[in-house]
Amino acid sequence: MREQEAEINHSRKNIFFSLFFLGLFIIVGRLFYWQIIKGRQLKEEGEAQTLRKLENKGLRGQIFTSDNYLLVGNKRVYDLKLDKKNFQGDPNYLAYKLSEIAVEDWRYSEASSSVQKQELKKEIEQNIIQKFQSKGNWPKLLDNLSQESKAKIESINNQYLAFDENYERFYPEASMAAHLTGFVGRDENANEIGRYGIEGALEDELKARSENSLFKMDALGFLLAGQKYDSKNLNGRDITLTIRRDIQNLAEQNLAYGIEKYQADRGEVIILDSKTGKILALAAWPSYKQWQYFKYDSDVIKNPSLTRLYEPGSTFKTLTIAAGIDSGVINKDTTCPKCSGPRQIAGYSIRTWNDVYNPDISMISGYAKSDNTAMMFISDLLGADRLVSYLKKFGIGNNINIDLQDDTRTPFPSKIGPVETATISFGQGISTNSLELLRAVNVIANQGKMLEPIIVDKVFDQQSQAEIASEVKEREQIISKESAATVTTMMIEAALHGEAQWIASNKYTVAAKTGTSQVPDPNGGYKENETIASFIGFAPASNPRFTMLVKLENPKSSPWAAETAAPLWYRVADKLMILLNITPDK
């Protein structure tokens, strides 16, 4: 019996130790598996439960006028989302309630009449109902809602609705200077990107920066000890333009007045500081609302002062006169021996605009009377090569080199024969844009020296708190000071005794020129019943403070610049003299 008991106890010990070592082996094996084989994965999973990736994103830079009024800023808005998976209730009723609130939101403020609002409300309601059928568990029902609309929706107390906070561009001055500011659209990846104007040209300056940072947090979402958020400023740079709010408003209001009064299809008013090249105002019509850019055709959104080419007509004669005076082939009293009738050149008969001829007319009178034959006489003396050389020095055919996305090189005629030389001398057969011509004429106002137009006054870097001011872009001397003074005298004579003499100011001296140009027909030749009326000049003539171009396309009340563009120019100039605190020189 004792032998049997001893044998049983021994067996029990063997079983116990076998089970013990087996268990120990299993534990060691599992520890090896978790610590060595799966250790890295478990560490990553553990960190994933405590680590949070937080994106710190700045705001897009703002745009100001030179007198510190905000043109383009950032407004907090909200996107409304629906927990579609768990939603319980009547989708039609919710869509009805939401559409009532949304239709009163700032985005739809242009829908003023009750009929418009009812139609818009139905459209919003249908769009919301359709979102209930869309893919995904959190469809966006409404976007870019104001704080007021958010509060109204929250008062519904619907637990299945949630908001995402965002920022959108807003415009305290409404659509003022739309062709200068441009707008913010989306690229192919739905990311914000500036389009046209300043927004497009200075995208790299304006765009916000973003950074992703990892933080360790507890189960309640609080930072663990020793960590803190980095409050680095990631905002884009602020841009201050050269335009003044009061002058821009003056230009836009008067352009709208001129469009209506003279029944024009399109129009522009551009005002330049004669001594610095800074653009004080640039107004173009038709204009658009930047926040609703998608409703407009591209030809409305683009800046016509850069992209809309035209044959300038008689305003271009200023450059022909300047070339003739500076080269020495004429002086203001030189008489024209070829001005007694139409000119016959290469089989073509080229006439004056009114078919009136003045034998032996002087150059100063020929310019004032806008005599085409007098300009052709100058081009005869200059020759094609020298005329082209002067025009290119005046910047015709070159970029403006301005911080606007629409800036492009204008085409210069590739073939310039005898007929082209003759017609170019009086501004037909050659294309330019408004800013290019204004830059060229401002050479006369600036004593013969070229100034590049400037639209950006300064840039403010939010991160470094540094302010970078723009410098005056003074270029080479195009014509001598003496030549510029002579041309100025001739421009004064044109303003006082030319076609627009009836509207000349009796308070201040103006150096200016009218231009009534024909509009090319795509099928060849020129349109019979359309003109482009323009008036360009500077004041006061003895010490220019501003150079201004007024242009009206296809004015139907009268085709002539002297009866449309010129009176509008003086209307703006009268008020501009007050805003710039200019003392009358008469």
Per-residue pLDDT, 539: 98
Least confident residue range of 79-88, 151-160, 221-230: 221-230
> Residue 305 half-sphere exposure, CB side, CA atoms within 13 Å?
31
Q: Residue 420 region, left (φ>0) first, then alpha (ψ -120 to 50), else beta?
A: alpha
- Is a pLDDT exceeding 70 seen at residue 54? no
Q: How far is CA 556 from CA 363, 434, 459, 552, in A?
A: 32, 21, 43, 10
**Among 177, 310, 309, 240, CA closest to 454:** 240
Residue 349 is inside which H or E element, if any? strand 348-350
Q: How far is CA 125 from CA 50, 99, 129, 573, in A?
A: 42, 5, 6, 51
Q: Which residues pair with 451 in a beta bridge?
A: 474
pLDDT in tens, 114-169: 778 888 889 999 999 999 888 888 999 998 899 999 999 999 999 999 999 889 99
Task: Tell me the average pLDDT across 372-384.
Answer: 97
Under a CB-based contact definition with an 8 Å cutoff, are residues 178 and 241 in contact? no
Per-residue confidence at 42, pLDDT binned at 50, 70, 90?
A: low
Q: Which residues contact 566 (CB under 8 A, 6 or more apart)?
A: 499, 500, 503, 512, 514, 535, 550
Which DSSP category does 458 fall into? Answer: E
Which DSSP category does 293 fall into? Answer: G
Distance CA 534, CA 513 (A): 8
Percent of the chain surpassing pLDDT 90: 74
Q: Residue 441 region, left (φ>0) first, then alpha (ψ -120 to 50), else beta?
A: alpha
**Among 255, 339, 253, 264, CA closest to 516:** 264
Q: Is residue 218 helix, strand or coil? A: coil
Per-residue pLDDT, 91: 93
Q: Which residues pair with 63 in a beta bridge?
A: 72, 239
Under a CB-based contact definition with an 8 Å cutoff, are residues 504 and 513 in contact? no
Bigger pLDDT: 217 or 527?
A: 527
Per-residue pLDDT, 447: 98
Query: Pairing state of beta strands 238-241 and 63-64?
Result: parallel
Distance CA 318, CA 440 (A): 9
Peptide bond into 540 cis (omega under 30): yes
Task: Tell me the average pLDDT across 189-211.
Answer: 92
3-state SS string over 69-130?
CEEEEEEEEEEEEECCCCCCCCHHHHHHHHHHHHCCCHHHCCCCCHHHHHHHHHHHHHHHHH
Task: Tell me the average pLDDT across 362-386.
Answer: 97
Under a CB-based contact definition with an 8 Å cutoff, are residues 313 and 517 in contact? yes
Query: Pairing state of beta strands 51-57 and 210-216?
Result: antiparallel
- Is a pLDDT exceeding 60 seen at residue 104? yes
Give me 585's structure tokens. Answer: 């020189």
Sign of the torsion angle spanned by Cα atoms 334, 378, 432, 255:
positive
Query: Pairing state of beta strands 466-469 and 456-461?
Result: antiparallel
- Amino acid identity, position 364: I
Distance CA 18, CA 480 (A): 112
